[in-house]
Copies of this chain bind each other. A is one copy, B any other.
Amino acid sequence: MATIKDVAKIAGVSTATVSRVIHDGGQVGDACRARVKKVIKELNYRPNVNASALAGKTTNTIGVVTPKLSMTFFGTLASGVEKAARENNCKLLMSNSLYETQSELDAIESLREHNCDAIILHSEYSDEKTLIKLAKQIPGLVILNRYIPQIANRCVWLDNVSGAQEATEYLVEKGHQEFAVVTSIYQNRDPGSRIEGITRTLKEHDLMLSPDNIEESTANIEGGEQAVKTLLQNDRKFTALLAYNDLMAIGAIHALFDAGLRVPEDVSVIGFDDLIVARSCRPKLTTMHYPIEEMADYAANLALKLSDPKHKATNQTHLFVANIVERDSVAAVSEQTPE
């Protein structure tokens, strides 16, 4: 592998000049610049990133930590960051946090060792204090999918309350009066906000959500399935079901069908996330689109901006909203066949 010295020697200039040419650093004569560029091409020279990271202050590297890349949601998130990375000529470093506090912390540490300019963190398990401390130490840290008021300008997040409200509103408009919800066992943050949105909208319409009609479980297909089974066993009545995410919604549909109930004829189901599974199931799932790829892209660009020492802080936070995508799992009550 050719080094900057080789280039300098052959081009008959100093390494400093080559460096200037590489970084478009103004002050180089045209003839000289052309010569250097030619040699670079001939030698197929590529700067050693480790060396420039060591010598310079910046590494051109973005780090991402998510719980598990094999989950479509997080893969999509990573893809969004990758897009930003590519467009900014950065490398992408990944770490799975595996849904554990300690490995989440380890993952961040490992990214730090690499001097990542920017770090995008989908943190599920660290407490706010830790994150705030981290944010103080790492200028390019951005928290994705979580809101922490003290570091609001570092947070790129989704308005879960309004998302849930829109979903609920949609169902109410369709004439539904009896609701059930299957939610994640982690009753903090997102699930909590969603429940809040649901009940708030329901109240506005003088509708009630009985606590008995809320069933919690793990946020996957099996969880959704099991939650609805329980609901059914307990003889809960509902014509509309709000699920915490698409996976739970799909499990719910399975359970409903297995119980001889039709979707959407007997029960309308609405999901959240709009992953590919939402277009795979039958009926196709009406769901709230979570613009995670776009958010991740945005977060990465933000993180890069923040990591720039010239950047001056603002108080702006970065809030996105979910929007409904209508497919086939919701019907108006009038269209529903009486049981």
Chain A: interface size category: 35 or more
CA of A49 to CA of B95 in the docked complex: distance in angstroms? 16
Given A50-B114, A250-B280, is A95 in contact with B92 using a C-beta cutoff of 8 Å?
yes
Cβ 8 A contact of A79, one of B69, B86, B281, B282: B69
Q: Which of A105-113, A126-134, A142-150, A231-239 binds B?
A: A105-113
Q: Which of A69, A79, A95, A254 has the most CB of B within 10 A?
A: A69
For chain A, what secondary structure do more than half of its interface residues adopt (helix, strand, loop), or is it mixed? helix
Kindly list chain B residues whose C-beta atoms are within 8 Å of the C-beta of A96: 79, 82-83, 86
Q: Across the interface, do B72 and A79 meet the contact criterion of CB distance under 8 Å? A: no
CA of A109 to CA of B86 in the docked complex: distance in angstroms? 13
CA of A221 to CA of B278 in the docked complex: distance in angstroms? 11
CB proximity of A163 to chain B, nearest CB, Å: 21
CB proximity of A111 to chain B, nearest CB, Å: 8
Q: Across the interface, do A112 and B280 meet the contact criterion of CB distance under 8 Å? A: no
Copies of this chain:
2
CB proximity of A14 to chain B, nearest CB, Å: 21
CA of A249 to CA of B79 in the docked complex: distance in angstroms? 25
Kindly list chain B residues whose C-beta atoms are within 8 Å of the C-beta of A86: 96
Q: Which A residues form the contact surface with B (CB < 8 A)? A: 46-51, 53-54, 59, 68-72, 74-76, 78-79, 82-83, 86, 91-96, 109-110, 112-115, 221, 247, 250, 253-254, 257, 276-277, 279-282, 293
Seed contacts A92-B95, A282-B282; 10 additional CB < 8 Å A-B pairs: A49-B114, A50-B50, A50-B51, A75-B75, A75-B78, A82-B94, A83-B96, A93-B93, A221-B279, A280-B281
